Amino acid sequence: MHGRRRTGSTFGNLKVFDNALREGADPSSTLIGRARGLGVFASLDNSGGVTTIEFVFSNYGNYSGSTLATLGHLAFPGSERSIVGGTGVLRFARGYFTTEIISSTSDYLVALIDIDAGAADDKLTHLQFYLHEVPSSAPNATTVKVAGLNVYVTANTELLWHRHKMLSFTHY
Residue 93 belongs to some domain of the structure? yes
Phi, then psi, of 126 in degrees rounded to 5: -115, 120
Mean pLDDT, contiguous 10-residue spans, the chain (172 residues)? 49 92 97 96 83 97 96 82 96 94 91 92 89 89 81 44 38 36
Q: What is the pLDDT of residue 9?
A: 65
Residues of 124-147 as b/e, b for ≥16 C-beta within 10 angstroms? ebebebbbbbbbeeeeeebbebee
Q: Give 54's contacts (C-beta < 8 A, 6+ positions apart).
A: 35, 36, 37, 67, 68, 69, 70
Residue 35's domain comprises 12-148
Q: What is the model's pLDDT at position 2?
A: 41
pLDDT recorded at residue 48:
83
Provide the pLDDT for residue 160.
43
- Distance separating alpha carbons of residues 159 and 167, to the nearest angstrom: 8
For residue 136, tell me if it sits in a domain: yes
Residue 48 lies in a domain: yes
Per the structure, how many domains does the chain have?
Answer: 1
pLDDT of residue 135: 87
Residue 20: inside a domain: yes
> Has residue 5 been placed in a domain?
no
Residue 159 covered by a domain: no
Residue 62 lies in a domain: yes
Q: From CA 115, how far away is CA 127, in angstroms rounded?
A: 5
User: Residues for the chain: how many in total?
Assistant: 172
pLDDT value, residue 149: 63
pLDDT at residue number 15: 92
Predicted pLDDT of residue 4:
40
Q: Is residue 102 part of a domain?
A: yes
Instruction: Give the per-residue pLDDT at 168.
Output: 38
pTM: 0.80
